[in-house]
Amino acid sequence: MNKNLLIGLIIFLLLAVVVLVIFFFVWPKKPTPPPERTSQNEIGKNESSWQSGKVAIAGRYADAEIIEVADGKYRLYYSIEPEVKGNKLEMYSAVSSDGINWRQEAGVRNTFKTFADVVRLADGRYRMYYQTAGEIKSSISSDGLGWKEETGIRISKENSEGLSFDNVAASATILLPDQSYLMVYRGQINKKYASDVPNASTQIFLWAVSKDGLNFEKKGIAIDSRNDSLLGMIDGPELVKWSDDSIRLYFWGYKGVYYSTYQNGQFTSPTLTFATSTDSRVMFPPNPPGDPTLIKIGDTWFMYYGQHEKGIFYTTLK
């Protein structure tokens, strides 16, 4: 082989080795992107079949609450959205026999009382808990239409957790087998959880128990949103006796609707169960389903939820 050709080949091989060394060991690498801030992109696998939502009550309404009434009918309470100009936070109701077709009832159930939370009592009467003036109070009714306010405050802003609440609201109450009451409610701190989240406040769920439905013993924090999963945002709790006789706590956050199970005085870690947007690239999907309320009609679970400025929607699960 020609000597000059051999030297050229050696130089070429040496240059190739140098380039490979620079590429693999010296050249700066593109930094690996950090993991997503949340891991909430997957719907809970055991409840991935909630059907697409349909309109139950169209209009600028929110804060739905559903109960079963006499004669195989159901009543849905809902309120005008607070953004509507000149409103008095009017609360309305509608009835249905199938959970799909709703007929609005005449009149207004309440004014300046928000987040209806209704329990049917053993004697056939109804008790409604609601937020007014930053606290939770209650009214009593014989027919679920006309309400008489009960004296006293059910839940105040004071707590033993050292938290400074701007208000307490959005209670969810259920009667236990021994006829005692279990309540979960939201406490709101007037402070952002982090600079990059949409909400200007931070919400935490607390819980309380009562023997008579009027005097509640506060038990502490039920669900703490101050973490990298919930990012300081939880609202609209709903307690429901599930098909397996367990008690579930449903609520909504930035990603959609979650549930937690109540067991032996504790609430399990939340599972995302329903969302109107499944795009994992979106950190804060616009207009997530809000304030869920659930009931089982026949063999089908119905979940009603608010869609801002669109009305009350529902989704089903069999």
* pLDDT for position 2: 52
In-domain check, residue 290: yes
Write out pLDDT tens, residues 218-248: 999 999 999 999 999 999 999 999 988 899 9
| pLDDT at residue number 23 | 47
The whole-number pLDDT of residue 308 equals: 86
Asked whether residue 24 is domain-assigned, the answer is: no
**Residue 254 — pLDDT band, cuts 50, 70, 90?**
very high
Q: Could you write out the three-class secondary structure of 251-303? A: EECCCCEEEEEEECCEECCCEEEECCCCCCCCCCCCCCCEEEEEEEECCEEEE
> The whole model's pTM is what?
0.84
Domain containing residue 235 = 45-317
Q: Is 69 contained in some domain?
A: yes
Residue 2 lies in a domain: no
Nearest Cα to Cα of residue 259 among 233, 286, 237, 276: 237
pLDDT tens for each residue of 156-169: 999 999 999 999 99
Percent of the chain having pLDDT more than 90? 74
CATH code where residue 240 lies: 2.115.10.20
Residue 36, pLDDT score:
41
Q: Is residue 260 part of a domain?
A: yes
Burial of 175 (0-12, 13-18, 19+ CB in 10 A): middle
Number of domains observed in the structure of the chain: 1
| Residue 264 covered by a domain | yes
Residue 28 in any domain: the answer is: no
Give the pLDDT confidence of 51-67 residue by residue, as tens digits.
Answer: 877 999 999 999 999 99
Q: What is the mean pLDDT of residues 254-266?
A: 94
Closest CA to 58 of 312, 237, 318: 312
Cα dist from 85 to 60, 80, 88, 110, 133, whole Å = 11, 10, 9, 18, 19
Across 22-36, 98-112, 264-278, 280-294, which has the greatest mean pLDDT?
98-112
Does a structural domain hold residue 35?
A: no
